[in-house]
Amino acid sequence: MFYRDIKSVFYKKLQNNYSSDELNEIWILILDFIIKKNREFFAINPQYVFTKSEIDFLMKIIERLIDNEPIQYITGKTYFCSEIFEVNRDVLIPRPETEELVNLVLNEIEIENEKTRIIDLGTGSGCIPITIKKHYPKLDIYAVDISAKALKTAQKNEKLLTGKNSVHFMKTNILNKKFHALFNSKFDIIISNPPYIGIDEKTEIKPNVLNFEPHIALFSIGDALNFYKCIIFHSAKMLNKNGKLFLEINPKYSNTISNMLLSGGFKNVLIKNDYRGNERFAIAEWK
């Protein structure tokens, strides 16, 4: 089968399961990480004939996709801020919104200073601290997570992407009231994309997320604001004067989180929209 024919089969078999945008993204990941021939190759070689083994393998992938398994877990890789990160079912799949969060932080860092201290709370695959580290290697960056398996993935990603182990990864629980006491020095920037889906919202979650991604990284323990309450509490004790807190948030609670930050002693609270127009980010400055 020619490239155009196999692509047509792929889209037809999955058109009832995924949007056209989702199919385009999935197809790119399949070409890059499974077929290992990118779009440029097929633009130059439109008459390329897929081998039987390639077709058989692709059919198996289609069946897994019909069962709602995320393509990122099938390939074991995904793109984030133009870098390739390894992912598995121990970590949340990085989203475009989190790329926006990282860019907000990068725009805040005007000068690379080895004395600048940053911490990522709930790091997962490590995509946030590693991306920042690649831009600013001299920064002193910490990243914490409650999952040892997630941290193992994050450490592997750092080694693959930077060739070093310079991010300080730590296994700890940010819900612990004494979490802030683990650090002797304060931070200039705190970042977090914590679990922010309420248990009562489970029915609204797509099967490819609900059935495959780690619930510990998706759902907030107790009420949907529990992590934000703890993060704001700790950040007030961990940030230097005029230090910044960057949060990815559930748009449903943007006003509530803004008020929580103000009540917690923060100033210059700003809610920003993501590329879809949703109120997705909260930025605040410690007094």
pLDDT tens-digit map of 185-218: 999 999 999 999 988 888 899 999 999 999 999 9
> Sign of the CA dihedral 253, 180, 91, 191?
positive
Question: pLDDT of 124-162, one tens digit each?
Answer: 999 999 999 999 999 999 999 999 999 999 999 999 999
- DSSP at 252: G
d(CA 69, CA 201): 20
Burial of 236 (0-12, 13-18, 19+ CB in 10 A): middle
Q: Which residue has the tokens 């475009």?
A: 96
Residue 190 DSSP SS3: strand
- Edge-first strand order for the sheet with 239-248 is 168-171, 140-145, 117-121, 187-192, 239-248, 279-286, 266-273
Q: What average pLDDT score do residues 245-257 get?
A: 97
Residue 120 tokens, joined = 């990522």
What six digits make up the tokens of 119?
């911490």
Banded model confidence at residue 110, pLDDT cuts 50, 70, 90: confident
Q: Which two tokens stand for residue 97?
A: 């919104």
Which pTM was predicted?
Answer: 0.94
User: What does the pLDDT average to over 23-43?
Assistant: 92
Hunting for tokens 């047509």 — which residue is that?
Answer: 8
pLDDT, tens digit, 9 for 90 and up, residues 51-94: 999 999 999 999 999 999 999 999 999 999 999 999 999 999 99
Overall CATH class of domain 90-286: alpha beta
3-state secondary structure of 76: coil
User: In the predicted model, what is the mean pLDDT of residues 33-43?
Assistant: 89
